[in-house]
Amino acid sequence: MKPFETLAAQAPQGAVLDLIGIGLGPFNLGLAALTHDLPDVDGVFLEAREDFSWHPGMMLEGATIQVPFMADLVTMADPTNRFGFLNHLKQVGRLYPFYIREDFNPLRAEYDQYCQWVAEQLDTIRWGHTVTAVERDAGDGTYTVTARRSDGTLTSLRARHVVLGIGTEPAVPPVAEGLGGPVTHSGGYLDHRAALQDNANVTVVGSGQSAAEIYLDLLEGCVEHGYHLTWVTRSPRFFPMEYTKLTLEMTSPEYARYFSALPLERRDVLLREQRNLYKGISADLVDTIYDTLYRLRVETGRPVPTTLLTNSEVREAGWDEDEGRYTLRVHHEEQDASVTVTTEGLVLATGYRPRTPHFLAPVADRIRRDARDRFDTGADYSIDLDGRIFVQNAEEHTHSVLAPDLGMGAYRNSVIINAIAGREVYPVEERIAFQHFGVHEIESPVVERGLEARPRAASHRPRGTWDPDPRGLRCDEGASKPQAVEVGR
């Protein structure tokens, strides 16, 4: 990676770049990789951290990412790109072991190492740069991005486009906001695991993959460390992620178009209904939890010190400083009854939500928002009046399950790059699914064997007639079944 001085020389004061990326998670890192070798797209990426790290608090031993290795930073946009995952494996001498392993899903730690490998080769990244403001020049429509460097000095860059890749932030339910004590969000779990295991009681609140992974990790130690482990989830069951192939077609450009055309209220209902598509638990993990419970029961000869509560919502939460414990009022939905849970350790595996970047305040009047004050994201992932500010993973309410999916990151970056370059840099698939998601896109088949397809006036079609019919059959009114007719003459 080139030093800062070299980067500064590449973008001298007053020069106008094609794009500035703000934030460097996997999505903007993929954008940096896909634009790095383009001769007609100049970009710089600003990141507040000093290096790349991906969910370090959940880097559990043996955990895998939930998408195949092809869902890397670049392959789905450009399979020949040198920053692909398989090339990384070849360069580090692990391609054949990965092949022999016969598991499409890389380890989570492995994916993090791959991202670091890519980041180390990109000279367009400026680490230790915290963006403080994005301002628009009314004259030429360019944007000035101001950032504070690690040494406290300010630097400014100008660009025609801005891409927000600032990621999400931990979501805390209202009942736990401002809660005192050593409450831990799943994002910081590993830093607090040892302290949690020193308690007499530990409670995990949450429904998805992170909650399940943390529960299993703590379950392995509950007998050794002697704590009681509780898992509370609002879900009616520990549901597995839906991973059938036709369901996976919902991560497609067609579904995004279909979803975005629905009324806002209907989209929000669907988002709640679709949680098991990507916020459920992998089926293998559900089975592993059960097998672990069974094994511990056999090994100890007594009930495992754990409680699993489904259909249950934490309605009240309090921290007693003197007692050093939390008191949770948990309401069971189906029984309409409540129970009190006391616990010294508390983990909130309650997910993440889009960040609200304060640095957009100077251009707030240029940002499109919907009736619920969320980004009104366009088909090209732009959110401003001019189509020059784009977002990564902040458009779930407009593009559905594509937004957080690692496998669709390269697709979204292809769309953004093509919009910025004003040409087709990376071909974008318009249709990849076998199924139709709405009736408006279905075209009536016009097939008459041996005849050239031609429209026919409605008045010439007797009532009850199937016309046209690909089998050359016609059903006349009153007939009990289709009757064969001659065609093609």
CATH number at residue 40: 3.50.50.60
- Residue scoring higher pLDDT (149 or 480): 149
Shared domain check, 156 and 12: yes
The average pLDDT across 354-363 equals 93
What pLDDT, on the 0 to 100 scale, is given for residue 52? 95
What pLDDT, on the 0 to 100 scale, is given for residue 451? 47
What pLDDT, on the 0 to 100 scale, is given for residue 439? 86
Shared domain check, 416 and 366: yes
The average pLDDT across 310-334 equals 96
Shared domain check, 323 and 378: no
Q: What's the CA gap between 179 and 143, in Å, rounded?
A: 40
What pLDDT, on the 0 to 100 scale, is given for residue 471? 36
Domain termination residue (choose one: 373, 389, 421): 421
For residues 414 and 264, the answer to whether their CB atoms sit within 8 Å is: no
Locate the DSSP E strands across 336-441.
Answer: 337-343, 345-349, 352-354, 389-391
Average pLDDT, the chain: 88
Q: What's the CA gap between 482 and 466, in Å, rounded?
A: 9
Does 10 have pLDDT greater than 60?
no
Give domain status of residue 272, yes or no: no
- Domain hosting residue 325, numbered range: 174-241+279-350
Shared domain check, 138 and 23: yes
pLDDT tens by residue, 12-24: 556 899 999 999 9
For residues 76 and 407, the answer to whether their CB atoms sit within 8 Å is: yes
- Residue scoring higher pLDDT (475 or 429): 429
For residues 43 and 184, the answer to whether their CB atoms sit within 8 Å is: no
What pLDDT, on the 0 to 100 scale, is given for residue 487? 34
Q: Which pTM does this prediction carry?
A: 0.85
Confidence of residue 267 (pLDDT cuts 50, 70, 90): very high
Shared domain check, 417 and 294: no
Q: Which two tokens stand for residue 289?
A: 């939890």
Contacts of 97 (CB under 8 A, 6+ apart): none
Shared domain check, 77 and 46: yes
- What is the torsional sign of CA 294, 299, 300, 305? negative
What amino acid is encoded at 415 in this protein?
Answer: V
- What is the torsional sign of CA 399, 404, 407, 408? positive
Q: What's the CA gap between 259 and 177, in Å, rounded?
A: 32
Shared domain check, 214 and 73: no
Out of 108-117, 118-127, 239-248, 474-483, pick the least confident: 474-483
Kindly state the DSSP code that residue 172 receives in the 8-state scheme: -
Contacts of 34 (CB under 8 A, 6+ apart): 73, 74, 77, 78, 81, 410, 413, 414, 417, 426
pLDDT tens by residue, 390-421: 999 999 999 998 899 999 999 999 999 999 99
* Residue that the structure tokens 């026919």 belong to: 456
Shared domain check, 148 and 38: yes
Does 454 have pLDDT greater than 90?
no
Does 107 have pLDDT greater than 60?
yes
Q: Got the DSSP string for 360-390?
A: GGGGGGGB-B-TTSSB---TTSB-BTTS-EE
pLDDT tens by residue, 198-229: 999 999 999 999 999 999 999 999 999 999 99
What pLDDT, on the 0 to 100 scale, is given for residue 1? 34
- Residue scoring higher pLDDT (487 or 440): 440
For residues 420 and 19, the answer to whether their CB atoms sit within 8 Å is: yes
- Neighbouring CB atoms inside 10 A of 214's CB total 25
- For 70, the 3-state DSSP assignment is coil
Shared domain check, 369 and 341: no
For residues 109 and 446, the answer to whether their CB atoms sit within 8 Å is: no
Give domain status of residue 196, yes or no: yes
Does 480 have pLDDT greater than 80?
no
Shared domain check, 471 and 343: no
Give domain status of residue 119, yes or no: yes
For residues 31 and 411, the answer to whether their CB atoms sit within 8 Å is: no
Burial zone of 192 (CB within 10 Å; 0-12 exposed, 13-18 middle, 19+ buried)? middle
What pLDDT, on the 0 to 100 scale, is given for residue 466? 36
Q: What's the CA gap between 142 and 145, in Å, rounded?
A: 10
Does 292 have pLDDT greater than 70?
yes
Does 250 have pLDDT greater than 70?
yes
Give domain status of residue 302, yes or no: yes
Q: Closest Cα partner for 389 from 403, 409, 375?
A: 375
Shared domain check, 479 and 404: no
Q: State how far the alpha carbon of 37 is from the alpha carbons of 40, 42, 43, 123, in Å.
A: 9, 9, 11, 11
Give domain status of residue 438, yes or no: no
The average pLDDT across 87-110 equals 96
Shared domain check, 133 and 77: yes
Give domain status of residue 246, yes or no: no
Q: Closest Cα partner for 32 from 20, 49, 14?
A: 20
Q: Which two tokens stand for residue 364?
A: 């707030």
Domain termination residue (choose one: 421, 456, 479): 421
Q: Please count the structural domains in the chain.
A: 3
Domain termination residue (choose one: 300, 335, 350): 350
According to DSSP, the β-strands at 154-164 and 389-391 are parallel
> What proportions of the chain, in percent to the nearest 5, are helix, strand and coil?
35, 20, 45
Give domain status of residue 439, yes or no: no
